[in-house]
Chains A and B, each alone.
Chain A
């Protein structure tokens, strides 16, 4: 049973560029959440997608946007990259109506230079 898959694993971008990160949820899960984890910090919630709609959003600017596809996979897009966007981006999947925990991927390490 495949867990959460994220791609790419590492990425280097230049300030001002745009980036797209991808996530395939665990088989059977219908909800995808994205988190940003700066070095030495705990993950911060960016947003969550269910039924191809953004259901919740954390305190992140509009430069951060996302999408969920009919097969439940998801993309995180960041425009106009800033040096401060350098972080580990984690995807977590779950069942919308389940009170259980989340299954996380191994993340994408984004470096903005």
Chain B
């Protein structure tokens, strides 16, 4: 079974600074996808960024980028120019290749953004 580990229960960053959230995963599969989801107090899970395992290039979405180290099974999220609206719970998630596979989530990292 696949597992996802987020070892940072809480992180804090000053507005406009950069922060990196860590995630490691365990799998024996070669075809999979990795995600970072944001969950604000509104409770809805919002997709931040997605990485296909077969792609060597790290995914980037505006201020959000990942460092995908396949051999080390590491998938960290970097948030640049942090904004107050970035404050939320962030979950790393794994999904196997194939049709409509389930998501396996980590335990989350609570990000605080301070002035």
Instruction: State A45–B23 Cα separation when bound (angstroms).
Output: 19
User: Do the beta carbons of B103 and A106 come within 8 Å of each other?
Assistant: no
B47 contacts A by Cβ under 8 Å = yes
Name the A residues within 8 Å of B102 (CB-CB). 33, 45, 48, 56, 58
Identify A100's interface contact among B43, B44, B50, CB under 8 A: B50
Q: Count how many chain B residues have C-beta atoms less than 8 Å from C-beta atoms of the other chain.
A: 25
Within 8 A of A (CB), among B14-63: 33, 35, 37, 42-47, 50, 52
Please encode chain A, from 24 to 50, with 1 for each CB lying within 8 Å of some chain B CB and 0 for all others.
000000010101000011111100101
Q: How far is the CA of A90 from the CA of B58 in the complex (A)?
A: 29
Task: Give the residues in chain A near B4, CB-CB below 8 Å.
Answer: 42
Chain A: number of interface residues, binned into ranges: 20 to 34
A61 close to B (CB within 8 Å): no
Question: Which residue of A is nearest B106, CB measured?
Answer: A42
Q: Does the CB pair B103–A107 fall under 8 Å?
A: no
* Known contacts A102-B103, A109-B43; 7 further A-B pairs (Cβ under 8 A): A40-B107, A40-B108, A45-B103, A55-B100, A88-B43, A102-B47, A103-B47
